[in-house]
Amino acid sequence: MRNAAFLAAAFAAAVTAAPDAGAQTVLRFGWWGSPEAHFNKIGAFRWGEQVEEATEGRVRVEFLASPPGSPVVFHDLIRDRVIDAGYYIPGIAQGRFILHQVAEFPFLGDSAEANSVAYWRIYKTYLEPAGEHSEVVVVTASTHGPGMIHNARRPVESAADLAGLKMRVPGATIGRLADSLGATAMFVPFTEVTQVLSSGVVDGIFVPYNAIADMSLARYLPYTTEVPGGIYNLVFHFAINREAWNEISEADRAAIMAVSGEAGARMIGHSWDVGDREGREYVLAQGVKISRMSPQFRAEIEAAFAPIRAEWAAKAAGLGIDGEAVMAAFQAEVAKLNAELEGGAAR
């Protein structure tokens, strides 16, 4: 793979001429985190390579040398063409987006690949028509793997154990849940997590296993509560600025979508799963004490989450979406995809 070439690239002017099958268009892509993180290394970066391959070099994805701003504003940076493309998290955009939360609720599944493909199918069928993300061109999407509870203070084996802990949260869904359980939810961009943990500003974080390994965080977090299905999830959209998209020929747009859409969701979701497997091995090797969420603890989480889910369904209804029907459809897709993945692994 040509990751080194991607990482060495800095801001460069994109081609702005009218679509021409023989011209090269450069899409300046905003990203963040470690270049060695699986989501980037064998997810986003590989997608960029596939775009170039699919268009026979006429469209090149240039991964910027450093983030062009906080992850919170990436949607707007793409919309305003500060960057031509990038990924963004709807759940950290200050309450502007609602419907993506269908894939962020507790206990939705252990496979990011299954959840990502299911989310893309639901997004295209039910969510996209509502127009929440119409200011950009969303070409594929992903969820990360199941979120776990990691902290520095004590084992968390019940809802009461969370009370009083200052917990870094990555998005609004898990933030609401943490607050409802008596923890103090603190939104901190992932790029600042090491600093707030090492200084004691936060007591713990909600993240998948991969993130602990990617940032070498086990030394700050001696306790992990493993949550089957995840206590939360997080959605990522891969998007291209509308003007930049329209400058690409119709044939190349089709070629890009052939490696994006569901195919991209599957590949990028799989990258999270690989990272989580290796992340759990890292946590164990570092001597972190892992306790598995009990059925009683799960019931406490479900009870705390019920009013949050009802509020989400009401907001979805305001956008013309039957939230409970969409949730049922998403869960059915996840179950079907997990069965397919398990069947494939058995062959």
Domains contained in the chain, CATH given? 3-144+234-275 (3.40.190.170), 148-231+289-316 (3.40.190.10)
**pLDDT number for residue 5:** 41
Q: At what angle do helices 172-180 and 295-318 cross, to 10 degrees?
A: 130
pLDDT at 116 over 80: yes
Give the span between the Cα atoms of 276 and 274, in whole angstroms: 6
Of 69, 89, 32, the residue nearest 237 (C-alpha)? 89
Cα–Cα distance for residue pair 322/99, rounded to 1 Å: 10
Cβ-in-10-Å burial (0-12, 13-18, 19+) of 110 comes to middle
Beta strands across the sheet bearing 166-169: 184-187, 166-169, 204-207, 148-151, 223-226, 289-292
Residue 237 above 60 pLDDT? yes
Residue 98 has pLDDT above 60, yes or no: yes
Collect all residues with Cβ–Cβ distance below 8 Å to 224 and sequence separation of at least 6: 148, 149, 150, 212, 283, 288, 289, 290, 291
Structure tokens at 187: 């939104």
Q: How far apart are CA 42 and CA 267, in angstroms?
A: 8
Phi-psi sector, 109: left (phi>0), alpha (psi -120 to 50), beta? left
Which tens digits make up the pLDDT trace of 143-174?
A: 999 999 999 999 999 999 999 999 999 888 89
Q: What is the pLDDT of residues 327-338, one digit of tens each?
A: 999 999 999 999
Q: Which residue has the higher pLDDT, 12 or 137?
A: 137
> What confidence score (pLDDT) does residue 278 get?
97
Strand partners, 107: none
Predicted confidence band at 3 (pLDDT cuts at 50, 70, 90)? Answer: very low
Q: What is the pLDDT of residues 250-307, one digit of tens each?
A: 999 999 999 999 999 999 999 999 999 999 999 999 999 999 999 999 999 999 999 9
The pairing of strands 289-292 and 223-226 is parallel
Is a pLDDT exceeding 50 seen at residue 240? yes
Closest CA to 63 of 88, 37, 28, 24: 28
Residue 187's DSSP bridge partners are 169
- Over range 228-237, report the average pLDDT: 96
Mean pLDDT of 210-226: 96
Enter the pTM of the model: 0.91
Task: Give the pLDDT confidence score for residue 246 in this predicted structure.
Answer: 98
Q: What is the full DSSP assignment across 10-68?
A: ---PPP-SSP-TTS-EEEEEE--S-TTSHHIIIIIHHHHHHHHHHTTTSEEEEE-SS-S
As a whole number, the mean pLDDT across the chain is 92
